Structure 1
Amino acid sequence: MTTHPQTCGTGGFSCGLDATLRIISGKWKPLVLFFLRDGPKRYGELKRMIPGVSDKVLIQQLKDLEADRVLSRTDYKEVPPRVDYALTPLGRSLADAIVPLCTWGTENMAEMVSIFAKQEASA
């Protein structure tokens, strides 16, 4: 059996995609990474950019991404509290990898809307 470096299991991952998905798993994590590409954001800014996310879920996903070392949290120790989130170098490379997915989604959005509408109608 021949294996390729990008597909052989390393560190408990079945492949590179498995490793990536373990970091970005969660409905909102890819959006957080995408929106932080433009620079650090405060919690409220991120919350406004991601309509539909609850505070509980966004806070947890930010903590997960920080634990995975793809974003950093800076607490300015001020009153009122001021905290912002920024990509680490690892996070920047991951966010840049998400951009082609965004492009694909934009280019195929009309078709996706049609597909999802048909799925809802048949449900």
Structure 2
Amino acid sequence: MPGPPTGRSARERGIVTPMFDWGAMATVQGGSLAHLTLRPGKPTADGRKTYETGVIGHGPDGAALADLVSEQICTWNTDFRTRNLRIALPDTPGAADPAAGRFVLERPSHPITITWE
């Protein structure tokens, strides 16, 4: 889920390094927030740029939330990266099944179902 835009002054001071110019994807849990960040990785053998995704947590349980998001990124990279993505907004989404690649993002109306096929 997209998070709030990050002001340029926060980036310039090195407080945050958002993934995109407009800000960063983030999640909240209780009074904590975790957002994605990006840094250059090692170039490939043919000179192409690569990047590493990181997670930064803020708040009383920010480190634990960042660890949880990091674990989910690793699961996606290992198990689902090569699969196609399907996003749906059904009236009744059914149950989530993360092991099979089916995730349900609860919202007040029309939950979002994400399936890695």
TM-score scaled by structure 2? Answer: 0.30
More helix by share: 1
TM-score scaled by structure 1? Answer: 0.29
If asked which structure has higher relative contact order (CA below 8 Å, sep 6+), I would say 1
